[in-house]
Structure 1
Amino acid sequence: MISYTTSSAASPFTEAVVSSMRRLYPEALADKSFDNTGLLLEAPFDSLRRQMNSVLLTVDLTQAVASEAIENKHCCVVAYHPIIFRGLKSLTLADSQQSSLLRLALEGISVYCPHTAVDAVPGGMTDWLCDIVTGTPPEKTTSVSKAESIPQETAQPPDGESNSQSQTKNPQQNSDLQPKSEDDVFNDDVALPRSAIKSSTKRPHMKRSYSKPVYPQSSSNQNSNSNNPLTTYLPHTRTVLHPSPMSSISSIPSPSSYSQDNTGFGRLLTFPHTEPQHLTHLIERIAFGVGTPKGFPVAIPQDQQVEDIMIRTVGVCPGSGAGVLKDCGADLIFTGELAHHDALAVTERGGCVVGLFHSNSERGFLHAVMRGRLEGLLKEEWARVRAQYLERGDKEGEDGDGDGDRAVVNEELEDALADESVNVEVSRVDRDPYGIVVLEGSQVEGMKI
């Protein structure tokens, strides 16, 4: 019988999750000048409320995501954005974020946040965004196909509708979201679908209405569409804009795969002098890569037309990229969001901006990359942790006889360690606060909001 007390420790499975995340995204690479990464909520193991050996991935730990984790009995939430950024003087139910943490702790669910460590690593979130712009070279097709083999996770439709109900109501939704050609995307200097541009003389009797907010629906196999422009690889050079300090890299247990050439914040993509890319083509690639949203902000210089702009350099950063990309001088800034004056500064110097809304530049990575990588490594780590606990219990069991209370705890710990299963899921309710509301013209009155 295992004689290891768990009264003040997290669950063994949570230990395996944390060690897996630290191997994939070393905390030493995070930007500690402002970031708060690591195990932010360590819930003690409770045999009466033992959760499944399951991890829930999310960008933001909202109240809806906390409820999802509790309902589905996930053992640990991996939230890309830290739910605790500043020091706390109290934990109360009056604050929504603190309330979520308290609810999760009560249920024995821990929270780990990797944030900027995911941005910095080679092959991390920043490089994933770069691959959306450029496609992946032929030698990477094997790893890409593995990621795409992960079962598709589809965002939950609004108002609790099932996916089948949503598709029945609008069977053309997916095809309508995907641009067919540059002419379909751009017309008369306005970046709108041609179908949305109507002459005022043709609609005097039409009622105007606005759609309900539409959100991108990322999945692990969204790029398998035969019309996907990402199947074409664009030759380029890729440079790290802000390399990680060597002191951070050398502190990683196995630093051989990390260097200042591939590790750090922000990337600069440079196309050959002879092969600059049309801005419209890059926008189309970005749209496919992040789940074909109805639209997203694009900023261009006032004296230029979007269909005439050619791009040779692209600065890339997930989330809010102003600080990372400020001085890169790229023809195109591709990030989640820029403040008004930051975007204006880019266009005034002749550059362009593509913004996706903050977390839309991040969420697809969870589906396309993190889920598969974490699940694969977690299976190894969970086997290691189980063996370690069992070995420790055997040794302690030979030396001590234990008491009745310890025996009850030990038996239930044995049950937890006997479970070999591993599951990693992406939240179905996590989404950016902003959706796209589209003006629709139709003889049939549309859905009001």
Structure 2
Amino acid sequence: MNSNVATAPFSRAVVSAMRKLYPEKLADKSWDNTGLLLEAPFDPLRRQMNSVLLTIDLTTAVVDEAIERDDSVIVAYHPIIFRGLKSLTLENSQQRSLLRLAAKGISVYSPHSAIDAAPGGLGDWLADIVTGTPVNAPEPQDEEQQDTDAEVKPTPLIEEEDPFVDRRPVYLLQHHPSQRKISKPADLKLDSTKHTRTAIKPSNISDIPGAGLGRIIRFEKPQKLSAIIERIARGVGNPKGFPIAIPQGRNIGDIKIQSVALCAGSGGSLFEGLDDVDLLFTGELTHHEALAAIERGQCVVTLFHSNSERGFLHNILKAQLLEKVKEEWQNIRKEELSKDGVSEELLEALEDEFVSVEVSEKDRDPYGLVIAKAEI
């Protein structure tokens, strides 16, 4: 092995920061694949910016974005490598993405269920939204950003000039923006509701109390379902709509909720056997899981899988990681600069104090909402 092959020092700082924020031992390794999934060697001839790109899914569009931005590391919440690979070829889109990133010197780290299980992580972020006590309100937008977010550019499914199309309302496809911000932080500062919360599946890591997958919230006083729906909508950036299921014969305005089970992503397996809660809140449930829930008298709120996760990147992880990476980068720079015989190429990298963490503008859930133009 060539002793000169090593990870880029800035990449080491990012990986160290993520591991300290969300320890890998919290991940459920029985099914998950977390950690450093692609380790690009340090090459001074192709040294990237000291920047990190946050995304939920590492799609081709996000890879293009990272390469164009000259990022050093992508932190992809969902692991792009989930099962064993028998080859790396250009025929498979995911493998092609990995090869392109490696060629550009960009590493990939995936935290996934470590973030889900961590105290103050994704589960608690959703719980804070439901209870009206967010752990962190996003910073106010500037006017330019507000205008950008307000202008949603839908994709027409039917061209109006097509002579063979009936002159019915044109339907437009709208995706929840990848960087949806809350224009008024006060929108999230609702009255905090007294409650208890516990993990659905507690972690066995004794030195991290409160860790575990999912959360069960039990309110001291019943909450109106309509109020919880409003909190959820505001907390995830006011999407155009999201699926809700309630028992037949009931009205949203009349339903009160005493308890909620929640988790990001797909909650079906985690919710199994939770018959004593009033509301199931997650990214997605199957048809039969939702049907069984309302037959038991429960309500269901889903957001589409990754829309239950993406807001965490902007509202929580971006600021957390920026602060921690700055700290780790200073430590690594100090350590490396104290060594004898530092090469000119490495010295140039270590003298760069710049650090940036951004959320992908291209990342989005595959599903959007088709809305009649007349209703917009």
TM-score of the aligned structures, taking structure 2 as reference length: 0.90
Q: Larger relative contact order (C-alpha < 8 A, sep ≥ 6)?
A: 1
Paired residues of 1:333 and 1:354 also in contact (CA < 8 A): yes
Query: Is residue 385 of structure 1 aligned with residue 332 of structure 2?
Result: yes
Let me know the Cα RMSD of the aligned residues: 2.6
C-alpha separation between the residues in 1 aligned to 2:335 and 2:288?
A: 55
- Please state how far the C-alpha of 1:278 moved relative to its aligned partner: 1.2
Per the alignment, do residues 304 and 62 of structure 1 end up closer, same or farther by CA in structure 2, a change over 3 Å counting? same
SS of corresponding position for 1:86: coil
Q: Judging changes above 3 Å, is the alpha-carbon distance between structure 1 residues 216 and 286 closer, same or farther for their aligned structure 2 residues? A: farther
Aligned to 1:350: 297
1:58 match: 55
Q: In terms of Rg, which structure is larger?
A: 1
**CA-CA distance at 1:229 after TM superposition:** 5.8
| Secondary structure of the corresponding residue to residue 338 of structure 1 | coil
Query: Could you say which residue in structure 2 is the equivalent of 1:77?
Result: 74
| 1:243–1:263 CA contact under 8 A, matched in 2 | yes
Closer/same/farther in 2, CA of residues 152 and 314 from structure 1, 3 Å limit? farther
Amino acid in the other structure paired with 2:214: G
**Please, which moves more after superposition, 336-345 or 78-87?**
336-345
| Residue 323 of structure 1: how far off its partner (Å) | 1.2
Q: Is the 8 A contact 1:75 1:110 kept in 2?
A: yes
Counterpart of 1:438 in structure 2 is 371
* Deviation of 1:340 (Å): 1.0
Deviation for aligned residue 1:354: 0.3
SS of equivalent residue, structure 2 residue 78: coil
Q: Offset at 1:341?
A: 1.1
Query: Is the counterpart of residue 334 in structure 1 residue 281 in structure 2?
Result: yes
CA distance in 1, matches of 2:167, 2:87: 55
Letter in 2 for 1:82: P
- From the superposition, tell whether residues 38 and 438 of structure 1 become closer, same or farther in structure 2 (CA, over 3 Å): same
1:207 Cα shift? 3.6
**Structure 1 residues 150 and 118: CA distance shift in structure 2, 3 A:** farther
Contact 1:378 1:422 in 2 (8 A): yes
Return 5+ residue gaps in structure 2 as ranges. Answer: 155-165
Question: Residue 108 and residue 152 in structure 1: after superposition, are their counterparts in 2 closer, same or farther (change >3 A)?
Answer: farther
CA–CA separation in structure 1 for the residues paired with 2:357 and 2:257: 38
- Structure number having the greater helix percentage: 1
Aligned to 1:122: 119
Matches within 5 A, 1:311-326: 311-326=257-272
Q: CA deviation at 1:303?
A: 2.3
Superposition pairs of residues 237-386 of structure 1, within 5 angstroms? 237-245=196-204, 249-250=205-206, 255=207, 258-259=208-209, 262-272=210-220, 275-329=221-275, 330-386=277-333
Q: Distance in 1 between matches of 2:78 and 2:356?
A: 21
Q: Distance between the aligned counterparts of 1:72 and 1:93, measured in 2?
A: 22
Equivalent positions of 1:135-150 (< 5 A) are 135-136=132-133, 144=136, 148=139
Superimposed CA distance per residue, residues 65-110 of structure 1 (whole angstroms, 9 cap, x where no aligned partner)? 0010000000000000000000000001111111111000000000
SS at match of 1:231: coil
Partner of 2:217: helix, strand, or coil? strand
Q: Quick one: percent identity of the two aligned structures?
A: 55
Residue identity opposite 2:172 in structure 1? S
Change (3 A) 1:307 1:431: same
